[in-house]
Amino acid sequence: MDQIFEHPPVRGRAEVYRETLRQLESLLADDDNLIASLANTAALLKLNFNSFSWVGFYLESQGDLIVGPFQGKPACVRIRWGKGVCGVAAESKQTLIVPDVGSFPGHIACDPLSRSEIVVPIQVEGRVVGVLDVDSQHLADFNETDRTYLEKVVEMVKLKFK
């Protein structure tokens, strides 16, 4: 006998982000530990977005960005300020969306399969303390919706920096 299974409705990216923010609010409310908060944030974003191949944080340390909690393939350990997408975003204090990382001057290829990237600086009292970095193996995978919601994610996690 054939059974009819209903498929869940296809959700738009903004809807997935809204649900992610609700989930993240619960995760972050339970603990004030920075590393645990960043680890859970990276895991949640990677879990909820199939096209994200790498999600993680780089943290400022003595003028460099050092890899922090992440989900995905092993990453570059140290990125110089102003170098690569992460370093340029940190230096400029601006979110960067790169539709094709191959065309970004000085791109640091930690994962040769990465095709597009978005990096959101984390600022506390005007000082960049780290960045949220998200990669995709698809060209032009990020847009203004991603910018809007990932900046909201950063607003939530930056409260854990002391």
One-letter amino acid for residue 20 of the chain? T
Domains assigned to the chain: 13-160 (3.30.450.40)
Q: What is the pLDDT of residues 61-87, one digit of tens each?
A: 998 999 999 999 999 999 999 899 999
What pLDDT does residue 2 have?
A: 47
Range 118-133 average pLDDT: 97
Contacts of residue 43, defined as CB under 8 A and 6 or more positions apart, other chains included, come to 71
Q: What is the pLDDT of residues 133-146, one digit of tens each?
A: 999 999 999 999 99
What pLDDT does residue 1 have?
A: 42
State pTM to two decimals: 0.91
One-letter amino acid for residue 112 of the chain? P
